[in-house]
Amino acid sequence: DQQVKQNSPSLSVQEGRISILNCDYTNSMFDYFLWYKKYPAEGPTFLISISSIKDKNEDGRFTVFLNKSAKHLSLHIVPSQPGDSAVYFCAASGGAAGNKLTFGGGTRVLVKP
């Protein structure tokens, strides 16, 4: 049972445009959500997070939106840059799982110059 899903395995976007990555979850006990960026053969790098008491968190070019009623979160990257080309994972924690992270399957983003 996949508790965290990223339904788009890949995304291609033009440099300067907005990248929107989506993530859905099923476990209503999750109360903290994170986005990680990963390059091949490297560990994930933390990007941005959001607590369930908020619906938006912004950090520079990255904004995460949380819709608790829909159990949906999204990551917006604007403007997209070629260096943003990577695989992005959303992750969730909380409830009985404590600090254990449950990851989505990832979305590969390609930013074209």
The binding site for other proteins (CB under 8 A) comprises 32, 34, 36, 41-46, 49, 51, 89, 93, 99-106
Q: How far is the CB of 2 from other proteins (least distance, A)?
A: 9
By beta-carbon proximity to other proteins, the closer residue of 77 and 90 is 90
CA distance 25 to 85: 24
Name 6's Cβ contacts closer than 8 Å, sequence gap at least 6. Answer: 21, 22, 23, 24, 88, 89, 90, 104, 105, 106, 107
By beta-carbon proximity to other proteins, the closer residue of 49 and 79 is 49
Q: How far is the CB of 8 from other proteins (least distance, A)?
A: 14
14 with 80: CB under 8 angstroms? yes
- The amino acid occupying position 67 is N
Q: How far is the CB of 16 from other proteins (least distance, A)?
A: 28
